[in-house]
């Protein structure tokens, strides 16, 4: 199993989820702009990717994912039989 996570701070995520080792895929979310790269996200999936963690608004950046961004994430998950674990406030 492999877990993908959109994060603004790689070190904190690695500290918290580092025990997953090679099973963790962290994707950069710019802490100032909230920008992320959807193409890089989609290309990061492997046959072992089984879950994506997403929180919106993102803590602590405040990034609220748009409908189009959420559809991109959902589409990628559906095409790869992967679940999305969300924390929506």
pLDDT of residue 75: 94
DSSP code per residue over 25-51: EEEE--TTT----HHHHHHT--TTEEE
How far apart (Å, rounded) are the C-alpha atoms in residues 69 and 63? 11
Q: Answer whether 0.75 is exceeded by the pTM.
A: no
Q: What are the C-alpha distances in Å from 56 to residues 1, 44, 51?
A: 24, 20, 16
CATH number of 2-88: 3.40.640.10
pLDDT of residue 43: 87
pLDDT tens-digit series, residues 68-83 = 999 998 999 999 898 8
> Beta partners for 51?
3, 83
pLDDT of residue 15: 67
pLDDT of residue 68: 95
């Amino acid at each position: 199993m492999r877990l993908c996570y959109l994060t603004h701070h790689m070190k904190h995520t690695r500290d918290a989820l580092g025990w997953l080792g090679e099973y963790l895929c962290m994707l950069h979310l710019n802490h100032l702009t909230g920008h992320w790269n959807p193409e890089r996200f989609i290309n990061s999936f492997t046959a072992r990717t089984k879950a994506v963690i997403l929180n919106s608004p993102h803590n602590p950046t405040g990034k609220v994912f748009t409908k189009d961004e959420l559809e991109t994430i959902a589409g990628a998950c559906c095409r790869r039989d992967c679940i999305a674990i969300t924390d929506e406030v």
